[in-house]
Chains A and B, each alone.
Chain A
């Protein structure tokens, strides 16, 4: 049985008239077990592979091999299906005109591998159709408690309008989780990130087709280790208070604020997807009505809930003090993740400005990113930034844009922008 713990890191002391309370809540899960292994839990997995014409024969062959490797990692008993997508979606396995899923066993695994081997490159790209078919396929097994997909694409969503894709993302949000990967450099990071973020998944670049198999295999192994099908973060704030934001800040930055659904007038619920043995950090900010010096109050109650059951809780407090030594101290955890969030934004905004030809803004933003990555000890981000800018001074964030940049390096910087380093505790 999975066990959750929650720890709160904050400076609860507010100065006279202070209203904003910030806290980092670390939620830790142990003993999650394998996906679908708990009583009443059933897991489903769908592999979605781009088979558009741009993939080419070699690309499709590499993708098929990767899908076969992924099939090997799906546990026996887990419901699964394979979708091949171009400008429309087809259920490649189980081959059927109507949506359907089957349980994994030695026969279905072999049959699925054989079906995948018959992939060929043809047609355009309309990812919305793939997502809609995946949702319909998952819906055929109502007993599924955990629904996860991996999606591979190689190009822009050319055969579908952005509005249609947006509507599709909204329609399928909450129906399954989806990790997205782009192969090569012809796809749009922002477009795929929208899908992954809405579907509580990750986005990353796979520069060359021969790296696909290892990545697919890793993603499925991770999905199979998520023994907790679904959990929600609940945030209670007192009457009259305003929840400014709720963000996941580790392992990646993900703003949950807009995903609030109401539990009761004072409590909001935010989906966090499935959990394996892992630790995640959340940044919660609440604005209170200021109270008098010496007063203390609960600013927020942060809980993790599985269904209706609360499995972990942390309390965020506020205490007004006249002691400046207490009120001016900034929690190192809050400072660290505030920096990491700004780092993610600076990278994304810098790259967007660069793509739009706004060199001045790009230089400023990416310079700030270099500065923040150094200050927060995010060496991975620093080394990725180095491939896009020449760093004159790390402390002041003085940089020059490189004349020629590998497209893949720029995309890797973009997709990894939300990855954070943990605060040293």
Chain B
């Protein structure tokens, strides 16, 4: 009951937020929050560190961008196609990657993501270094004009809630129980008769599709799909967001994404813009050394200590 009230309060806050804060900024936070939630599904609930999630974010973005530019389909169809495309790529990459564990899993995903990066760099349809520019936002179901930031915000919010709900449902499902068992003790899960690679593969597909959905949405928000989204920096950034917020917690990635995006926005405008990576790196080190369970993880500990 308590958690439901929390959801309700957050939902109401999200509804009124664009009246206080700049909607584009909020949309950026929501896109990255969804991306981090998708990533956290792998790292936090199965213990798989993917270092190539930018490939799925970027694929979703480029495919949706191309759909909007060249086919004249509406935003809802374009996002759907982008999501599916990322999911298909995830199915291929995941099939290869889940055969390996630990650091090797991370390296395989990184290598595969670099393949995607160079593919998008060389392909003519992406615009290479310039990126895919001037992507129209279109209108939702042909009725609601999304070029209006407020309308767009509520559309993005709906997508985010859907994605968040998928993650939540997956974690708290019979399937999610097996995922947690794999995270906790993989050999034991095998000895109980579970083909762990199949479970890892399915969750990898879910995670990559959601990452693609985040990328698709982001392309519509900024009307731009660029190489930044497929670059390995992006894969690293999502690790930072998840760890900072608290991996393995449902709200952690959302908080982490919020903090990281806020810091980036704040710094890039000011005099400290050139030092942004140094500052982010410093935060990362402090986070790993001092509070390893992240912001939400630490808060949960305090709550448990004092009230639980």
Instruction: Decide whether A and B assemble into one complex.
Output: no
Binding site for A on B (CB under 8 A): none
- Point out residues on A near B: beta carbons under 8 Å: none
